[in-house]
């Protein structure tokens, strides 16, 4: 018998600029990564897991060990998608050398295909340092969640001329430093469209523009896992929170009424056959 050919995992070359927009989604666990793998180009193990998985109010408390544990789980459960793992707050800002040590650890211990870090022109030297040493980097500009304490919250970027110039310059600086893609978050649409057209690497939008080279969402937002208000830029494709609520309520009712488990869910008990 011939061997079954395994699907080839995507690389950064497969998600280059041009053609059909790239499909990116976050995942933090093996079961969900397995489900997404056949449908997306890139699985992003985002530091948003601090809020989504651990109930934090922001991403600042996420550790390198947490990112590595979740990144490794996602890589093990996927076969085709390029897996990109976020570098958490404090793991790369101090110096290019520290960034390399931590990024190298993420790559080695997870098996991921690239890392992502936040920051504009001020991080260009670090991006170049990593890329020159064999670590593929995705940038992240515009609204940067790791900087929310410094910027006063989650605020849309590019609303005035000074902000617009900065976001535009940041995107170009990160691309020029060697990033293979740039995530552009929470930035007004006309500016996002302009950046997507002018930056030579793929610009992946989240709350940006349909003109971007791809889109990314937090999968739990997209699947309706939370009943709370969601950001304006999220489109819910399912209401899994309601499905879970209904399933758990029916399970609780069956347990309390002793309808579960039944004979079919017990070992050593024969099912009763009703005479015909």
Domains in the chain and their CATH numbers? 12-241 (3.20.20.60)
86 is in an annotated binding site: yes
Helix 96-110 and helix 124-132, axial crossing angle in degrees, nearest 10: 50
CB 74 within 8 A of CB 45: yes
Using CA atoms of 255, 259, 263, 266 in order, give the dihedral in degrees to the nearest 10: 0
Beta-carbon contacts of 88 under 8 Å, excluding residues fewer than 6 positions away, are 47, 59, 62, 63, 64, 66, 67, 146
118 is in an annotated binding site: yes
Active site residues: 185
Cβ atoms < 10 Å from Cβ of 271: 9
Helices (H), 4-88: 30-36, 49-52, 64-77
73 to 8, 14, 31, 87, 165: CA distances (angstroms): 18, 22, 9, 16, 39
Q: What is the largest CA-CA distance in the chain?
A: 82
DSSP class of 3? P
**CA dist., res. 98 & res. 145, Å (int):** 21
> Which candidate, 211, 206, 208, 209, places its Cα nearest to that of 221?
206
pTM of the model: 0.93
As a residue count, the chain comes to 276
Share of the chain above pLDDT 70, in %: 93
- For 63-83, how does the pLDDT look when each residue is reduced to its tens digit (9 = 90+)? 999 999 999 999 999 999 999
pLDDT at residue 275 in the model: 57
- For 132-169, how does the pLDDT look when each residue is reduced to its tens digit (9 = 90+)? 999 999 999 999 989 877 776 678 888 999 999 999 99
How many CA atoms, within 13 angstroms, populate the side-chain half-sphere of residue 220?
Answer: 18
Ranges of residues in the chain whose predicted pLDDT is under 70: 1-5, 152-153, 227-228, 269-276
Do β-strands 137-142 and 114-116 pair in parallel, antiparallel, or remain unpaired?
parallel
pLDDT at residue 268 in the model: 87
Question: Measured between alpha carbons, how far apart are the two ends of the chain, in Å?
Answer: 48
**CA dist., res. 225 & res. 230, Å (int):** 10
41 is in an annotated binding site: no
> Which candidate, 217, 216, 220, 170, places its Cα nearest to that of 191?
170
pLDDT at residue 262 in the model: 94
16 is in an annotated binding site: no
209 is in an annotated binding site: no
SS3 157: strand
């Amino acid at each position: 018998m011939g061997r079954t050919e395994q699907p080839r995992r995507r690389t950064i070359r497969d998600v280059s600029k041009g053609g059909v927009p790239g499909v990116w989604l976050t995942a933090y666990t093996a079961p969900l990564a397995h489900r997404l793998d056949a449908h997306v180009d890139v699985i992003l193990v985002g530091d948003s897991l601090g809020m989504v998985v651990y109930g934090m109010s922001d991403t600042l408390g996420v550790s390198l060990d947490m990112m590595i544990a979740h990144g490794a789980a996602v890589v093990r459960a996927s076969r085709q998608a390029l897996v990109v793992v976020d570098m958490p707050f404090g793991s790369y800002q101090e110096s290019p050398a520290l960034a390399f040590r931590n990024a190298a650890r993420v790559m080695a211990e997870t098996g991921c295909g690239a890392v992502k870090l936040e920051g504009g022109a001020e991080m260009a030297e670090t991006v170049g340092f990593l890329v020159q040493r064999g670590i593929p980097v995705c940038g992240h500009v515009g609204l940067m969640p790791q900087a929310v304490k410094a910027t006063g919250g989650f605020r849309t970027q590019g609303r005035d001329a000074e902000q617009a110039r900065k976001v535009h310059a940041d995107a170009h600086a990160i691309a020029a430093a060697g990033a293979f893609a740039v995530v552009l978050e929470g930035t007004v649409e006309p500016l996002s469209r302009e950046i997507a057209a002018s930056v030579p690497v793929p610009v992946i939008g989240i709350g940006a523009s349909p003109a971007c080279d791809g889109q990314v969402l937090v999968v739990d937002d997209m699947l309706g896992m939370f009943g709370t208000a969601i950001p304006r830029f999220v489109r819910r494709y399912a209401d899994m929170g309601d499905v879970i609520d209904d399933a758990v309520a029916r399970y609780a009712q069956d347990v309390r009424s002793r309808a579960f488990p039944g004979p079919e869910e017990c070992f050593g008990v024969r099912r009763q056959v009703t005479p015909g």
